[in-house]
Amino acid sequence: MVAVPLPEFDHERVTTVTGARSGLRITVALHSSAIGAGLGGCRLWAYEHWLDGVADAMRLSRAMTMKNALADIGAGGGKAVIALPPGLVLDAVQRRDALLDLGDLVESFGGSYITTEDVGVTEHDMVVVRERTEHVVGLPAADGGAGEPAAGTAVGVFASIEQVLLEVFGSSVIDGRTFVMSGLGQVGSRLARRLAEAGAVLTVTDINPAARALADELGATWIEPDAALTTAADVFVPAGLGGILTAAAIEQLPVRAVCGPANNPLAERSGADALAARGILYAPDYVVNAGGVIHLALTESGDSPDTVDARLRGIGGTLAEVLALAKADGVTPLDAADRLALARVAAAHRERRAT
């Protein structure tokens, strides 16, 4: 017997299957479709137990409900996870089989869940998923899709960082400010380039040693991953996997603010209170990293690049609204963001019942 704690079940539907082709456990968690079909990516990742993948999908799908509500894109929240056993590396055939199995599961939701790429999955993988379902976005532009959303995410995080600096230091100017960035993947690398171009003093790290080449290119200081949470800076930018901000890490974190694209950087929700108690401003992850879903939703619906760019930069304004509410109500920014998002979801539920 394996005991795996699952999040509170406030979802519309959570389905886990054993893929008919791949034999892998695949989960789709639909948290809410009150505002619209649940939109959220598929994560391909290794877990100690497949139930850990279910828990991950449930946590992430709830976050997608909140993210999409505040992003105002007419979508609800959902997430998919393809859980790999520890140590398994898929070959090309196995990967294709897993993606086809994912497509079948997505199709079974009848359009109430729309998938796209997330950690471990690319825009090219979405072409395979589309062989089994139409409920997929984020395909390459050459295939008629919106393409890789990482650039959009980076734009939104950059705008959020400017807002954070304004809140903490009274000026949004990035030039000369110090940042520690943990993670230089698709989003992190793009964000690092933007920050460097704006004059930021960067200290960076990644679990992939090859990422050091980007650090050298940008003139950034490279540190080992273990040092990311103990290196002093104005802002800590989590840009890798979640859960990095444990209670112990928060106790020694030598920064004035936390703002980055990583999903669920707080190991526990109480971390938001712990950061506030130390005078560290926490910009809620699902507010600042909403650029990807905004890019996907608006591009797929035919909005112009200028319109999309304006909405991406508007994420800074959304964060300003969240921070103002937090001050007014005497709560953490995470609590304030939740209140705003849940109010929009509740309004959508009321409207649905009225019709």
State how many domains the chain has: 2
Q: Which of 143, 161, 194 is where one domain is finished?
A: 143
Query: 154 and 249 share a domain?
Result: yes
Q: In what order do the strands lie in the sheet with 257-258?
A: 221-222, 201-205, 178-182, 235-238, 257-258, 281-282
pLDDT of residue 3: 59
Query: 332 and 186 share a domain?
Result: yes
Query: 47 and 176 share a domain?
Result: no
For residue 56, tell me if it sits in a domain: yes
Question: CA dist 288 to 64, 118, 144, 217, 294, Å?
Answer: 12, 16, 27, 26, 11
Cα–Cα distance, 96 to 107 (Å, whole number): 17
Q: Which residues contact 107 (CB under 8 A, 6 or more apart)?
A: 132, 133, 135
For residue 257, tell me if it sits in a domain: yes
Give the residues across from 205 on adjacent strands. 182
Q: Which residues are designated catalytic?
A: 79
Query: 186 and 327 share a domain?
Result: yes
Give the DSSP H or E segment for 83. Answer: strand 76-84
Query: 156 and 117 share a domain?
Result: no
Query: 225 and 280 share a domain?
Result: yes
pLDDT of residue 176: 98
Query: 231 and 173 share a domain?
Result: yes
Tell me, what DSSP letter sits at residue 141?
Answer: G
Contact 167, 283 (CB under 8 A): no
Query: 245 and 173 share a domain?
Result: yes
For residue 267, tell me if it sits in a domain: yes
> b/e per residue, 211-230, with b = 16+ CB within 10 A?
beebbeebebebbeeeebbe
Among residues 257, 273, 241, 323, the alpha carbon closest in space to that of 60 is found at: 241
pLDDT of residue 352: 79
Which CATH number do you get for residue 284? Answer: 3.40.50.720
pLDDT of residue 234: 98
For residue 172, tell me if it sits in a domain: yes
Query: 116 and 240 share a domain?
Result: no
Domain residues for the domain of 327 are 150-290+317-341
Cα–Cα distance, 108 to 102 (Å, whole number): 10
Average pLDDT of each block of 10 consecutive residues along the chain (355 residues)? Answer: 70 97 98 96 94 93 94 96 96 98 98 93 94 95 82 96 98 98 95 98 96 97 96 97 92 98 92 98 96 92 92 96 97 96 91 78
For residue 126, tell me if it sits in a domain: yes
Q: Which of 123, 143, 163 is where one domain is finished?
A: 143
pLDDT of residue 8: 79
Query: 111 and 19 share a domain?
Result: yes
For residue 301, tell me if it sits in a domain: no
Query: 251 and 279 share a domain?
Result: yes
Which CATH number do you get for residue 50? Answer: 3.40.50.10860
Q: Which residues contact 209 (CB under 8 A, 6 or more apart)?
A: none
Q: Which of 143, 169, 199 is where one domain is finished?
A: 143
Question: CA dist 246 to 93, 229, 243, 266, 267, Å?
Answer: 38, 10, 7, 7, 5
For residue 17, tell me if it sits in a domain: yes
Cα–Cα distance, 355 to 350 (Å, whole number): 9
Which amino acid is present at 306? Answer: D
Query: 35 and 132 share a domain?
Result: yes
pLDDT of residue 76: 96
For residue 215, tell me if it sits in a domain: yes
What's the token pair of residue 295? Answer: 């890019």
